[in-house]
Chain A
Amino acid sequence: MAASRDDLLIAIRSAFLKKSTQQKFSLLTLVLISAFTILLSSLDFRIIKILKSSINEVVYRSSFVVSIPENFLKNTFIEISDYTTFFYDYKSNKDELSQLRSKNISSEITQNENKELKELINDYVSSSDKILAKIIVDHESPFLKSIIINKGSKDNIKIGTNIYDQSYLVGRVIEVNFKTSRVLLLSDLNSNVPVTIAPQNIQAIITGSEDNLGKIKYIKEGLSDNFTEESIVYTSGTGAIFKSGVPIGKLTKLKDESKTNFNVEFYSDFSQLKYVFAEVITKTEIENLDDTNSKNTNPIDAKIKILEDEKEIIEDSNLKFKEENDLLKVKVNELNNQILNLNSKLSDQKEKIDQFNIDKDELEYLRLNLIYSHKCQTRKLFSTGYKIGTPEYKECILNKGKKIND
């Protein structure tokens, strides 16, 4: 028993410490170095960051070169599968294009309005430049879904920079090197995006999942009952991590055994990305009125400035009122003319109606006259009728032959 324990110990010691003839380091040394490296990488030391960044630069480039044959195979496979659905795609794209063209105009108007409103709310104007970046490494690891782009701190890319495929959100930068950056895709489990689900206007958080769909999290129970497959998901801008109003995807129904679940189908296909856009935002502060006033040291000057401003505002508003007044006068005249026209039309129509009524009465009288004339007119001696043309005769006719005395 003791001998077997000794053998085990010898074997373990040998495994850890004994160097073979070719080996330069014992395994124990390497284990310790690994553990030390893990420890250092978990700490945010500047030197470690620089070292890591330079390793990244070299490894990403090497990885790009090494991946060329596999990428070629992959692209060929994708191209072949694309050709098989070419015609169907063409037709659906054509339809979609015509729809999008019509939507584009209203979208531009909304964008401009949105920009104006944001300027009012945020106190700063954000001007953004979208830089085209090439994906140099896109090995979708089963554990971490990320891509490497060929833009880094040299191109003003920062941690958190939003990355787009056309106008759809793809992810954000989580690691920046000098000439490369790592982008965490929306489909990764560690990705959390604050979103708005429209048209229901529900706020939620979208996280990645194993099946490349977004999962809706942190919404009140029952709110999901309002979801439909036409609901769209876009960034809400909460937390200022992502820009607001960027489309992400649409809801898709997943029928479970017990209930219906909604997941987000991303607009962008992350497995087929070749180029992406990195949005570099520069914020320009709007000069605050209070700040400029505080710069005026003399209070009288400040007062004069305020009064001048006030005067200017009153003059402006007066001008506006005057213009409005003129416009209203023109409108009143137009309306008066319209009323006159309508009145004349009305009197014409009244006359016509009266004439029509008279004609109608006359016709009725003539019709009755044909039927009851023998009853009402006087013919021979002892007859009780009336003379034709007299009012009594007319009344008799209108009373359908009944005489006044009857």
Chain B
Amino acid sequence: MSILLYLIPISFLLGAAGLAAFLWSFRSGQYQDLDGAAERVLFEDEDGPAG
């Protein structure tokens, strides 16, 4: 059962990492223009998400 000592923190941390990734992408405006991002990939002269 001591395996739980590793597994539980690992599962928790993985979930927390997912949550943090979502919150970061949400804050940096990556969900503001889902349709536009698909088109912008074809532009040559710019990169980075919306400011």
Whether chains A and B associate is no
